Structure 1
């Protein structure tokens, strides 16, 4: 083995060490923008350099050609990998939609792949090169080519991308701080060496005959880039753009120079005043905006704050404006004014509506800006509060919508994650606490939503619905994105915002920085808070929560997770009260010490919302206790006939479980005879009419029915009702009604009922009507000889025989001691005569079967009349006929019809 070969192998080992060390270092910092792309670039360099060096040490043509072909993928991927690194390290790829990153990378790979395929199949077409010659120069193997069109396409493409990447680094470096500028200069310097030597080789100007010195140049590149790593913390100290805080904060900001011109305006302010940014910047303020302001707020004074009213095409918006003077470093010369705008339209609306009803979480939602929803697991329908519908932009008046409709609002990219989280909640494998994006129904705007939910169980421990809340966190997400950017130019913004911005040192457990707004929040000055241990800033229950979650979140951060954390924290006020804050935190590495971790946080006062929630929960508990303990039958139902909720007394009365009652429609439990009246009452309730003292029957699980008396109040599509079981009262009423209309001895109708029916039938259209009058023969003799008890038995036998001879709609009554009468509606003389015959037959059947002293005998007379006759006269005619038959003492029939 020659000395040249030994030198080549040592160079290959050195190049491999340099490339792999930088790649491993980059992967250890893979969370840093550009780190993964740099690792890929170094692998490409390794894939090119080492095979090429092995080519130089080959002993024959086939070996040299093999190593040359093996080096082609790395050689052709260097340019695209370098461009991707430049785009990601400078964060210019954020200007390209994330969904287009992979297609763009694949597109960059097309030409390198085609060039490699052309080289490997060159023996078939010769488009890559011709006249390949194998030469040996001082034991170093050389391949000489006459390169063709496809070689030059790949060469120009790769080095064009390399030059573009260098230009991107150069232009970005000019806008950065000194340390980041030095990083960029070293990166560009290291990249230029291999590029220059490769170009020299391509044009046959290599100082060593036809040997590509580019792999050796990458050794120099590795040394220079290691200087960037160790001297200027390359890939650990990452530059962050300052403008983003100004651009992405949800606080509206307008900068006015000393001449009264608008020098800058952020998107939040432009959105609040409903004018494009480009139409405002450079204009005199406030004249340009006066057409959008009502007369009372068209001019500004230098007050600490002011509320203005904007009329935006009929839509009124209220803004709170704070004015802060911008002065030079010596705070003597006024450079301009900073206007801080907050949209308080909803707050103004809340002030006007707090005196209205507190129905179904409306008060809490208006105060907290939180919408709530309930998913019925039985019928898969979703109830959404007014605030929830406003956040989603739902275009319907009913709060009930099918679950499939609600699923259309989240973006398709987030839908699988939400479905998985809901399924995990239903299966008891996790909690539902998700952030996602929706396309709002009213204007198709993309909004960020935070939703939390939990299961609601019935008495048997079975989940019956999912109850949750949502909050539009779009503005908060903008703040979170802005936290990644530098605050150099606009640092004073943090000093004037209503939220408290703070930095916590985890080594000392003390605050490095707290914005002055902490005084308005907790009554302490910023210096007082920074002098305390962070534990003093938390109430005991919140401190326990933080001590539990902080180690877990910190461990995840070290594993590469760098997400925002959201908590509701209770903090002590200087006056002894408790302040509730919504806190957003993120872990950051200290710029000077990589292993030194700090926490950046923003805290917002939500005390009013928490107090409202606690008040509402207390009222709900009181209502729940009343609902569960009252003996009355309480229920909430829909106007289409479904129970939404029932009190436990329903289960005790009907025997059904609460789940069985909620599964079907309550109309399924109604007695068929009461269904028509119930449907009419439902119609009144649908028309928002109050219903009292309505009575119907409900079926029990054992098949019996109970009488229920209702008092119902409608509210939109819901019915709120209280009912009582009046079955015993109805039974007593029925018994009294029976006794008032029936003969106690025989069970037949009595004289009072007979006379009432006679008057009713006189007005009816059921003519002809026949009346039969019957008198028991010999009853007085039986009473005198055998006793009244025997007489009573004979009367009962006679009543049974008479009843068995007539239809159910015929009226059979006992109107005297031994006198019976029968009214036959819609019966002519022939039918009446047949009826008399049936009575005699029934009497004969009785007499054949009974004992001799239990036989009975009747005298019967009948008469028939039409609508021209008075029924009282018909009765008299029948009575006369009966007495005639009684006098004859025989069964002859007397037809006395008119």
Structure 2
């Protein structure tokens, strides 16, 4: 007993109920799980008889259970799956096992099987439901195990079972099937076993004296206790029979229409299958041999019909199927395998009705009418195109008489067709040489060749236009030759081309001028200006052009630069130009408009300006202002001597584009010069500064410049002058020193202000005797100033670099030292 109680915890964990009953029928022990299952404790039960009373309230079930228990326990054990009533009045299904021990005790094991029982019940219900479903479907369903035994078989129709169901269940397929059928089943079972894929095959059986045909699908199903095979078979005997009948009909039809090369189709409305002969297949581009079977449903056939024709065709078929028409007849397009559309003439009739009088079969023929329809379409297109083409079309007979005009020709010339019919083409050609032009056309086309050319045409209202003409001969054996003339008004195009050519010339001109001014210095600026004046003069057809700058720009460019087309024209005199541009009216007009265009001198109200231009024999002039910050700083003039020049607005716009390009180039050059001056020149003296000289020394300190002499001079007493008389007088003394140095030395010598009162002169290729002479000349210049209010006294020092190995900085220091020594002597 102690041992049982010790094991009770293990049983509890396993959810296994445990109880012990003594030989007197009293419960000695009940574990926790048994109480949880039944709800009854040891105290509730007491004796085993109480268990039967409480757990089996139904007397009949109780008597039967007790009788069996006492019978089985005599042999040592009792086992039963039974329904009991728990303490809380619930019905449960339990598995009860009782074993008699050696000491007379009964060991009771209790398992709750309620959930399993309910699941089994549901499965049984589903199985019955499945049986009902299976019995109402046309397929035969077979379930086989791994040993090829029939586990079950269902058939919606009894005759589909080869034998009585009970005779099949449990038998192997080799006991039911034989020969080729057995081999088919075994082969597909093996394939399904290996691949786990659905296997499809067909087979035949003799049932009730008839050969029945079946289409089967076989699938392997893995289960926990091995594999099973599901076979679903459908009787296809009726389909086989229909196919056989359809094949016979097709054969007869094909024999009947093969000679006529008609496409034939046969529509079985019940199976919704449409069969076609080889000629139809060829119509749609299929190879009759490669595509032996090309049957499809009505929806497939409908998809071949052109979308624009589909509704019409469907309505015509529906009308015939409803008996509204004796025949179905339609001309429509179908799609070929190449993706093109082909016209067919489709004629059909219902040939069979079912028992209810509904159409069951419809047979039709297709005739290839693509060529005819294309020709009809082409004629329509040509006719429509001829009427509505944007070009004028004129048809002439062999005598070159007009026999047809399209709408555009009537619109272009202003004549109606009736007005020009049978009239000669000469009536429409403008110019004195109209007859010669017509003869030229007639000769060309008379040889069977096409004439192409441009000619001037005249309209009904007398106006003219330029036309592009093409005349083509169209000849037939029966009717001889007619001539088709296609004429296009190209007046606008000619004008457009002229504008485009002008635009191109303008863009090219501006591009060339702009390019000329890119990255130029002062030297090349004058060349660029001359180039620009020349190009603009040619563009305007002016005989002379020149650029005049006002006084405050004279340091940058010469006041007068000009370009002349011919040397016969005298160069314009500066004083005349200055007189001309001192004209207030002209300056005011330039400030307001940016330009002044004198087309005719008679228009001038300013007599002074008119007289100046007449003296030079100028017929027309254009003056173009150049501005910086809205200030006029220069004028470009274009003069016309030969005749008065009538220029349109486009030419003036060209000058408006060119003017700022030229102005900006001049302004930029001025700024560049100013930057250069500020960088390398001394502001006070205008001499080079120390920075510039340092760079030049680096550049010129070379073998070929030897010997190089350095001269340094320093003004004596500058500080005292600044202190006593002010910096202004000191600056004047420095400027005076710079002027003396500039007039004393050569052009190739570099003079720079080295410091406040110190100057240095770099003398390339100068020997010591030569520099000594220059020192004497400089001292004489200083001596001349002794009588002036500002007398210059200065120390001078020199040094000469004679070998390349010598350091130029050492030479400068040496000259500097010599200069201080000279200053010291002069102070003594």
Is the pair's TM-score, using the shorter chain for normalization, greater than 0.5?
no
Report the TM-score when normalising by structure 2: 0.29
Higher relative CO (Cα under 8 Å, sequence separation at least 6) belongs to: 1
TM (norm. structure 1) is 0.27
